[in-house]
Protein backbone atom coordinates (compact mmCIF):
# COMPACT_ATOMS: atom_id res chain seq x y z
CA UNK A 1 0.00 0.00 0.00
CA UNK A 2 1.38 3.35 -0.91
CA UNK A 3 1.08 6.03 1.71
CA UNK A 4 2.88 9.34 1.71
CA UNK A 5 3.91 8.77 5.31
CA UNK A 6 6.68 6.52 3.96
CA UNK A 7 8.21 9.32 1.90
CA UNK A 8 11.13 10.94 3.70
CA UNK A 9 12.01 14.56 3.05
CA UNK A 10 14.69 14.93 0.38
CA UNK A 11 17.64 17.24 0.98
CA UNK A 12 17.54 20.58 -0.79
CA UNK A 13 19.49 20.73 -4.05
CA UNK A 14 22.81 22.20 -2.88
CA UNK A 15 23.23 24.57 -5.81
CA UNK A 16 19.70 25.90 -5.86
CA UNK A 17 19.87 26.19 -2.03
CA UNK A 18 23.00 28.30 -2.42
CA UNK A 19 21.24 30.58 -4.91
CA UNK A 20 18.38 31.08 -2.47
CA UNK A 21 20.74 31.94 0.40
CA UNK A 22 22.48 34.47 -1.85
CA UNK A 23 19.21 36.11 -2.85
CA UNK A 24 18.19 36.45 0.79
CA UNK A 25 21.49 37.96 1.95
CA UNK A 26 20.84 41.72 2.42
CA UNK A 27 24.53 42.70 2.25
CA UNK A 28 25.44 45.08 -0.57
CA UNK A 29 28.87 43.47 -0.74
CA UNK A 30 27.60 39.99 -1.58
CA UNK A 31 29.21 38.08 -4.43
CA UNK A 32 27.57 35.16 -6.25
CA UNK A 33 30.12 32.66 -7.51
CA UNK A 34 27.77 29.70 -7.27
CA UNK A 35 25.60 29.17 -10.28
CA UNK A 36 27.07 28.19 -13.62
CA UNK A 37 25.52 30.94 -15.66
CA UNK A 38 27.32 33.75 -17.45
CA UNK A 39 27.14 37.22 -15.96
CA UNK A 40 28.29 40.45 -17.57
CA UNK A 41 30.65 42.91 -15.91
CA UNK A 42 27.72 44.30 -13.91
CA UNK A 43 26.89 40.84 -12.53
CA UNK A 44 23.75 40.75 -14.69
CA UNK A 45 22.51 37.95 -16.96
CA UNK A 46 23.53 38.65 -20.55
CA UNK A 47 21.21 38.17 -23.49
CA UNK A 48 23.60 37.56 -26.37
CA UNK A 49 23.05 40.32 -28.97
CA UNK A 50 22.75 37.68 -31.69
CA UNK A 51 20.10 35.85 -29.66
CA UNK A 52 18.15 39.09 -29.29
CA UNK A 53 18.33 39.56 -33.05
CA UNK A 54 17.13 36.03 -33.81
CA UNK A 55 14.41 36.41 -31.20
CA UNK A 56 13.14 39.64 -32.77
CA UNK A 57 13.10 38.00 -36.19
CA UNK A 58 11.01 35.13 -34.85
CA UNK A 59 8.53 37.56 -33.30
CA UNK A 60 8.15 39.28 -36.65
CA UNK A 61 7.84 36.07 -38.64
CA UNK A 62 4.18 35.49 -39.58
CA UNK A 63 4.81 31.83 -40.39
CA UNK A 64 5.79 30.97 -36.79
CA UNK A 65 3.05 29.23 -34.82
CA UNK A 66 2.72 27.16 -31.68
CA UNK A 67 2.27 23.71 -33.18
CA UNK A 68 4.10 20.71 -31.74
CA UNK A 69 7.56 19.96 -33.02
CA UNK A 70 8.12 16.40 -34.20
CA UNK A 71 9.34 13.80 -31.68
CA UNK A 72 12.95 14.38 -32.66
CA UNK A 73 12.62 18.15 -32.55
CA UNK A 74 13.22 20.89 -35.09
CA UNK A 75 15.02 19.28 -38.07
CA UNK A 76 16.89 22.50 -38.94
CA UNK A 77 18.27 22.57 -35.41
CA UNK A 78 19.22 18.93 -35.14
CA UNK A 79 21.02 18.95 -38.49
CA UNK A 80 22.94 22.10 -37.55
CA UNK A 81 23.68 20.83 -34.05
CA UNK A 82 25.22 17.70 -35.55
CA UNK A 83 27.50 19.68 -37.84
CA UNK A 84 28.46 21.99 -35.03
CA UNK A 85 29.71 19.26 -32.75
CA UNK A 86 31.11 16.59 -35.06
CA UNK A 87 32.17 18.96 -37.87
CA UNK A 88 30.40 19.45 -41.22
CA UNK A 89 32.75 17.06 -43.00
CA UNK A 90 32.58 14.32 -40.38
CA UNK A 91 32.62 10.74 -41.69
CA UNK A 92 29.72 10.07 -39.30
CA UNK A 93 27.53 12.48 -41.28
CA UNK A 94 28.78 11.37 -44.72
CA UNK A 95 28.21 7.72 -43.86
CA UNK A 96 24.78 8.44 -42.31
CA UNK A 97 25.70 6.83 -39.02
CA UNK A 98 24.79 9.66 -36.68
CA UNK A 99 21.29 10.36 -35.41
CA UNK A 100 20.19 13.34 -33.39
CA UNK A 101 17.20 14.21 -31.25
CA UNK A 102 16.51 17.61 -29.80
CA UNK A 103 16.33 17.34 -26.00
CA UNK A 104 15.47 19.26 -22.85
CA UNK A 105 18.86 20.98 -22.85
CA UNK A 106 21.97 19.07 -21.76
CA UNK A 107 20.25 17.48 -18.78
CA UNK A 108 17.61 15.91 -21.01
CA UNK A 109 20.28 14.71 -23.42
CA UNK A 110 22.27 13.05 -20.62
CA UNK A 111 19.05 11.47 -19.39
CA UNK A 112 17.99 10.19 -22.82
CA UNK A 113 21.43 8.66 -23.36
CA UNK A 114 21.39 7.05 -19.91
CA UNK A 115 17.91 5.68 -20.47
CA UNK A 116 18.87 4.27 -23.85
CA UNK A 117 21.96 2.51 -22.47
CA UNK A 118 20.07 1.16 -19.47
CA UNK A 119 17.49 -0.32 -21.80
CA UNK A 120 19.54 -1.51 -24.77
CA UNK A 121 23.03 -2.26 -23.54
CA UNK A 122 23.06 -6.05 -23.20
CA UNK A 123 25.27 -6.14 -20.10
CA UNK A 124 23.71 -3.50 -17.86
CA UNK A 125 27.02 -1.70 -17.92
CA UNK A 126 28.64 0.38 -15.24
CA UNK A 127 29.07 4.01 -16.11
CA UNK A 128 32.30 5.58 -14.89
CA UNK A 129 32.04 9.21 -13.87
CA UNK A 130 34.97 11.48 -13.15
CA UNK A 131 35.55 12.23 -9.50
CA UNK A 132 34.36 14.92 -9.14
CA UNK A 133 31.77 15.56 -11.83
CA UNK A 134 28.67 17.67 -12.40
CA UNK A 135 26.62 16.47 -9.42
CA UNK A 136 23.53 15.80 -11.51
CA UNK A 137 25.32 13.02 -13.41
CA UNK A 138 25.05 10.79 -10.33
CA UNK A 139 21.32 11.43 -9.97
CA UNK A 140 20.48 11.08 -13.64
CA UNK A 141 22.31 7.81 -14.20
CA UNK A 142 21.16 6.22 -10.97
CA UNK A 143 17.55 7.22 -11.78
CA UNK A 144 17.69 5.19 -14.99
CA UNK A 145 19.16 2.21 -13.15
CA UNK A 146 22.75 2.22 -14.37
CA UNK A 147 25.50 1.14 -11.99
CA UNK A 148 27.82 4.00 -11.21
CA UNK A 149 31.55 3.95 -10.54
CA UNK A 150 34.02 6.81 -10.53
CA UNK A 151 37.49 7.39 -11.90
CA UNK A 152 40.06 9.72 -10.32
CA UNK A 153 40.23 13.02 -12.15
CA UNK A 154 41.47 15.90 -10.05
CA UNK A 155 44.79 15.98 -8.28
CA UNK A 156 44.54 18.07 -5.13
CA UNK A 157 48.31 18.26 -5.16
CA UNK A 158 48.76 19.81 -8.61
CA UNK A 159 45.22 21.17 -8.92
CA UNK A 160 45.40 19.67 -12.38
CA UNK A 161 44.47 16.35 -13.99
CA UNK A 162 45.20 13.11 -12.15
CA UNK A 163 46.04 11.54 -15.49
CA UNK A 164 47.67 8.39 -14.09
CA UNK A 165 44.74 7.74 -11.78
CA UNK A 166 42.28 8.23 -14.61
CA UNK A 167 44.21 5.90 -16.94
CA UNK A 168 44.50 3.21 -14.29
CA UNK A 169 40.75 3.25 -13.76
CA UNK A 170 40.02 3.08 -17.48
CA UNK A 171 42.41 0.14 -17.82
CA UNK A 172 40.93 -1.67 -14.82
CA UNK A 173 37.28 -1.13 -15.70
CA UNK A 174 35.50 -4.25 -17.01
CA UNK A 175 35.52 -4.51 -20.82
CA UNK A 176 32.70 -2.59 -22.43
CA UNK A 177 32.15 -0.11 -19.62
CA UNK A 178 30.63 3.27 -20.34
CA UNK A 179 33.00 6.14 -19.60
CA UNK A 180 31.51 9.59 -19.20
CA UNK A 181 33.84 12.26 -20.56
CA UNK A 182 33.46 16.03 -20.44
CA UNK A 183 34.36 17.17 -23.96
CA UNK A 184 35.84 20.45 -22.71
CA UNK A 185 35.79 22.80 -19.73
CA UNK A 186 35.25 20.06 -17.17
CA UNK A 187 32.64 20.90 -14.55
CA UNK A 188 33.47 21.45 -11.68
CA UNK A 189 37.27 21.49 -11.99
CA UNK A 190 38.00 23.48 -15.17
CA UNK A 191 40.72 20.89 -15.85
CA UNK A 192 40.86 19.20 -19.29
CA UNK A 193 43.19 16.56 -20.71
CA UNK A 194 45.69 17.80 -23.30
CA UNK A 195 45.29 16.52 -26.87
CA UNK A 196 48.08 14.00 -26.26
CA UNK A 197 46.35 12.79 -23.12
CA UNK A 198 43.07 12.46 -25.05
CA UNK A 199 44.91 10.26 -27.55
CA UNK A 200 46.11 8.02 -24.74
CA UNK A 201 42.65 7.92 -23.18
CA UNK A 202 41.16 6.89 -26.53
CA UNK A 203 43.78 4.17 -27.02
CA UNK A 204 43.14 2.73 -23.55
CA UNK A 205 39.39 2.82 -24.11
CA UNK A 206 39.72 1.11 -27.47
CA UNK A 207 41.83 -1.61 -25.83
CA UNK A 208 39.01 -2.31 -23.36
CA UNK A 209 36.14 -1.73 -25.84
CA UNK A 210 34.72 0.97 -23.60
CA UNK A 211 31.87 3.16 -24.78
CA UNK A 212 32.51 6.93 -24.65
CA UNK A 213 29.60 9.03 -23.42
CA UNK A 214 30.51 12.66 -24.08
CA UNK A 215 28.89 15.52 -22.27
CA UNK A 216 29.44 18.88 -23.95
CA UNK A 217 27.96 21.91 -22.25
CA UNK A 218 30.62 24.54 -23.03
CA UNK A 219 31.49 24.35 -26.72
CA UNK A 220 32.82 27.75 -27.80
CA UNK A 221 32.41 29.05 -24.30
CA UNK A 222 35.60 27.44 -23.06
CA UNK A 223 38.24 28.71 -25.49
CA UNK A 224 36.13 31.01 -27.66
CA UNK A 225 36.79 28.58 -30.55
CA UNK A 226 33.97 26.18 -31.44
CA UNK A 227 36.24 23.74 -33.27
CA UNK A 228 38.89 23.61 -30.60
CA UNK A 229 36.30 22.85 -27.92
CA UNK A 230 34.92 19.96 -30.00
CA UNK A 231 38.30 18.42 -30.70
CA UNK A 232 38.05 15.51 -28.28
CA UNK A 233 34.73 14.27 -29.69
CA UNK A 234 35.91 14.60 -33.27
CA UNK A 235 39.08 12.72 -32.45
CA UNK A 236 37.15 9.79 -30.96
CA UNK A 237 34.89 9.67 -34.04
CA UNK A 238 37.98 9.69 -36.28
CA UNK A 239 39.23 6.71 -34.30
CA UNK A 240 36.10 4.79 -35.23
CA UNK A 241 34.40 4.66 -31.83
CA UNK A 242 30.71 4.06 -31.37
CA UNK A 243 29.73 6.81 -28.95
CA UNK A 244 27.09 9.25 -27.84
CA UNK A 245 27.07 12.97 -27.13
CA UNK A 246 24.87 15.06 -24.85
CA UNK A 247 24.98 18.64 -26.11
CA UNK A 248 23.71 21.68 -24.25
CA UNK A 249 23.01 25.09 -25.76
CA UNK A 250 22.36 26.65 -22.36
CA UNK A 251 25.72 28.31 -21.85
CA UNK A 252 26.99 28.98 -25.36
CA UNK A 253 23.74 30.63 -26.47
CA UNK A 254 22.75 31.88 -23.02
CA UNK A 255 19.48 29.98 -23.50
CA UNK A 256 19.47 28.49 -20.00
CA UNK A 257 15.74 28.57 -19.28
CA UNK A 258 14.69 27.70 -22.82
CA UNK A 259 16.01 24.15 -22.39
CA UNK A 260 17.66 23.71 -25.77
CA UNK A 261 20.02 20.83 -26.50
CA UNK A 262 20.53 17.65 -28.45
CA UNK A 263 21.47 14.02 -28.08
CA UNK A 264 23.59 12.37 -30.75
CA UNK A 265 24.33 8.72 -31.25
CA UNK A 266 27.22 7.83 -33.55
CA UNK A 267 27.42 4.22 -34.74
CA UNK A 268 30.79 2.65 -35.42
CA UNK A 269 31.84 2.61 -39.10
CA UNK A 270 30.99 -0.49 -41.11
CA UNK A 271 28.78 -1.81 -43.86
CA UNK A 272 25.67 -1.93 -41.66
CA UNK A 273 26.38 1.27 -39.77
CA UNK A 274 23.62 3.39 -41.28
CA UNK A 275 20.99 0.68 -40.79
CA UNK A 276 22.11 0.10 -37.21
CA UNK A 277 22.00 3.82 -36.60
CA UNK A 278 18.48 4.08 -38.02
CA UNK A 279 17.42 1.36 -35.59
CA UNK A 280 18.93 3.31 -32.70
CA UNK A 281 17.14 6.45 -33.89
CA UNK A 282 13.82 4.63 -33.98
CA UNK A 283 14.23 3.38 -30.40
CA UNK A 284 15.35 6.78 -29.17
CA UNK A 285 12.20 8.25 -30.70
CA UNK A 286 10.05 5.86 -28.68
CA UNK A 287 11.87 6.72 -25.47
CA UNK A 288 11.55 10.43 -26.21
CA UNK A 289 7.83 10.08 -26.97
CA UNK A 290 7.17 8.42 -23.64
CA UNK A 291 9.26 10.92 -21.69
CA UNK A 292 8.50 14.33 -23.15
CA UNK A 293 6.48 13.57 -26.30
CA UNK A 294 8.34 16.28 -28.19
CA UNK A 295 10.81 19.01 -27.21
CA UNK A 296 10.12 22.72 -26.69
CA UNK A 297 10.22 24.94 -29.77
CA UNK A 298 11.21 28.41 -28.65
CA UNK A 299 14.91 28.08 -27.83
CA UNK A 300 15.31 25.64 -30.73
CA UNK A 301 14.07 28.25 -33.19
CA UNK A 302 16.51 30.81 -31.87
CA UNK A 303 19.52 28.48 -31.96
CA UNK A 304 18.51 27.15 -35.36
CA UNK A 305 18.27 30.60 -36.93
CA UNK A 306 21.73 31.46 -35.70
CA UNK A 307 23.34 28.17 -36.65
CA UNK A 308 21.86 28.21 -40.16
CA UNK A 309 22.57 31.83 -41.09
CA UNK A 310 26.23 32.54 -41.89
CA UNK A 311 25.96 36.21 -40.85
CA UNK A 312 24.31 35.42 -37.52
CA UNK A 313 26.74 32.55 -36.99
CA UNK A 314 29.66 34.98 -37.24
CA UNK A 315 27.99 37.32 -34.77
CA UNK A 316 27.50 34.39 -32.42
CA UNK A 317 31.20 33.61 -32.59
CA UNK A 318 31.87 37.24 -31.60
CA UNK A 319 29.51 36.87 -28.64
CA UNK A 320 31.25 33.64 -27.61
CA UNK A 321 34.57 35.46 -27.67
CA UNK A 322 33.07 38.24 -25.56
CA UNK A 323 32.04 35.74 -22.89
CA UNK A 324 35.14 33.58 -22.93
CA UNK A 325 37.36 36.66 -23.17
CA UNK A 326 35.85 38.30 -20.11
CA UNK A 327 36.29 35.08 -18.17
CA UNK A 328 39.93 34.82 -19.23
CA UNK A 329 40.47 38.39 -18.06
CA UNK A 330 38.96 37.57 -14.68
CA UNK A 331 41.21 34.52 -14.37
CA UNK A 332 44.31 36.57 -15.09
CA UNK A 333 43.11 39.37 -12.81
CA UNK A 334 42.41 37.09 -9.88
CA UNK A 335 45.71 35.28 -10.12
CA UNK A 336 47.60 38.55 -10.44
CA UNK A 337 45.91 40.00 -7.35
CA UNK A 338 46.55 36.94 -5.21
CA UNK A 339 50.17 36.78 -6.28
CA UNK A 340 50.63 40.49 -5.62
CA UNK A 341 49.28 40.07 -2.10
CA UNK A 342 51.56 37.10 -1.55
CA UNK A 343 48.54 35.00 -0.65
CA UNK A 344 49.99 31.68 0.59
CA UNK A 345 49.89 28.89 -1.99
CA UNK A 346 50.33 28.57 -5.73
CA UNK A 347 47.66 30.18 -7.93
CA UNK A 348 48.79 29.01 -11.39
CA UNK A 349 45.72 26.82 -11.65
CA UNK A 350 43.42 29.86 -11.79
CA UNK A 351 44.72 30.60 -15.29
CA UNK A 352 45.50 27.05 -16.43
CA UNK A 353 41.96 25.84 -15.72
CA UNK A 354 39.43 26.60 -18.45
CA UNK A 355 35.77 27.44 -18.93
CA UNK A 356 33.14 28.64 -16.54
CA UNK A 357 34.64 27.20 -13.38
CA UNK A 358 37.73 27.18 -11.29
CA UNK A 359 38.44 24.66 -8.60
CA UNK A 360 40.22 27.00 -6.23
CA UNK A 361 41.49 24.46 -3.73
CA UNK A 362 39.79 26.39 -0.91
CA UNK A 363 38.68 24.07 1.89
CA UNK A 364 35.11 23.63 3.07
CA UNK A 365 35.95 25.60 6.24
CA UNK A 366 37.40 28.46 4.16
CA UNK A 367 34.33 28.44 1.92
CA UNK A 368 32.17 28.71 5.04
CA UNK A 369 34.10 31.71 6.34
CA UNK A 370 33.93 33.37 2.94
CA UNK A 371 30.19 33.10 3.14
CA UNK A 372 29.62 34.05 6.78
CA UNK A 373 32.18 36.83 7.00
CA UNK A 374 32.51 38.09 3.44
CA UNK A 375 29.09 37.28 1.89
CA UNK A 376 30.81 35.37 -0.90
CA UNK A 377 28.77 32.39 -2.14
CA UNK A 378 30.35 29.33 -3.76
CA UNK A 379 29.84 25.58 -3.62
CA UNK A 380 31.43 23.88 -0.64
CA UNK A 381 33.94 22.01 -2.81
CA UNK A 382 35.67 25.33 -3.46
CA UNK A 383 34.40 25.74 -7.02
CA UNK A 384 33.86 29.29 -8.21
CA UNK A 385 31.99 30.40 -11.29
CA UNK A 386 34.47 32.75 -12.93
CA UNK A 387 31.58 34.59 -14.59
CA UNK A 388 30.50 35.86 -11.18
CA UNK A 389 33.67 37.96 -10.96
CA UNK A 390 33.84 41.40 -12.51
CA UNK A 391 35.89 44.57 -12.29
CA UNK A 392 33.68 45.79 -9.42
CA UNK A 393 34.13 42.79 -7.12
CA UNK A 394 37.44 41.19 -8.07
CA UNK A 395 39.49 43.27 -5.60
CA UNK A 396 37.04 42.48 -2.83
CA UNK A 397 37.08 38.77 -3.65
CA UNK A 398 40.88 38.62 -3.77
CA UNK A 399 41.00 40.36 -0.39
CA UNK A 400 38.48 37.85 1.00
CA UNK A 401 40.42 34.85 -0.31
CA UNK A 402 43.67 36.27 1.01
CA UNK A 403 42.16 36.72 4.45
CA UNK A 404 40.72 33.19 4.75
CA UNK A 405 43.85 31.50 3.40
CA UNK A 406 46.24 33.20 5.85
* Residue in 251, 316, 319, 347 annotated catalytic: 251
End-to-end Cα separation, the chain, in angstroms? 57
To the nearest whole angstrom, how small is the minimum distance from the Cβ of residue 253 to ligand PLP? Answer: 10
Q: How far apart are CA 121 and CA 30, in angstroms?
A: 48
> What is the pattern of x (binds ligand PLP, CB under 6 A) and - over residues 20-59?
----------------x-----------------------
Nearest CA-CA partner of 182 in 230, 147, 235, 143: 230
Element (H, E) at 130: strand 126-131
250 binds ligand PLP per the rule CB under 6 A: yes
Q: How far apart are CA 400 and CA 405, in angstroms?
A: 9
Strand 160-161, strand 154-155: pairing:
antiparallel
Q: Which of 32, 192, 215, 242 binds ligand PLP (CB under 6 A)?
A: 215
376 binds ligand PLP per the rule CB under 6 A: no
| Coarse DSSP helix, strand, coil percentages of the chain, rounded to the nearest 5 percent | 50, 15, 35
CB contact set of 93 (below 8 Å; sequence gap of 6+): 82, 83, 86
154 binds ligand PLP per the rule CB under 6 A: no
To the nearest whole angstrom, how small is the minimum distance from the Cβ of residue 278 to ligand PLP? Answer: 27
To the nearest whole angstrom, how small is the minimum distance from the Cβ of residue 143 to ligand PLP? Answer: 15
Rg of the chain, C-alpha, whole Å: 21
The DSSP call for residue 39 is B
* Residue in 32, 162, 192, 215 annotated catalytic: 215
- Our answer to whether residue 316 is catalytic in this structure is no
Subset of residues 252 to 281 that bind ligand PLP, contact rule: CB under 6 A: 256, 261
- Our answer to whether residue 119 is catalytic in this structure is no
Nearest CA-CA partner of 19 in 377, 259, 363: 377
Rank residues 34 and 261 by Cβ distance to ligand PLP and give the closer one: 261
- Our answer to whether residue 231 is catalytic in this structure is no
Subset of residues 84 to 123 that bind ligand PLP, contact rule: CB under 6 A: 105-107, 110
Residues at the site binding ligand PLP, with contacts judged by CB under 6 A: 36, 105-107, 110, 134, 182, 187, 215, 217, 248, 250, 256, 261
Q: Give the catalytic positions in this structure.
A: 134, 215, 251
Amino acid sequence: VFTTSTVAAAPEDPLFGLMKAYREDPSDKKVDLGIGAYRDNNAKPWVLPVVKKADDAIHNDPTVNHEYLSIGGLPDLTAAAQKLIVGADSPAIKEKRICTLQTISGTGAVHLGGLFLAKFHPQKPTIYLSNPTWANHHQIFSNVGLNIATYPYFSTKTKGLDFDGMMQSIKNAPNGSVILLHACAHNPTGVDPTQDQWREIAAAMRERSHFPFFDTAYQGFASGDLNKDAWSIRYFIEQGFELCVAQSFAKNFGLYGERTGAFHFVSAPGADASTANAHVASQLAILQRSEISNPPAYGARIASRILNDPVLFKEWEDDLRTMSGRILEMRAGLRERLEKKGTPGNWDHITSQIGMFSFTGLSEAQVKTLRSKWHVYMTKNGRISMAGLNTNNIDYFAEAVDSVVR
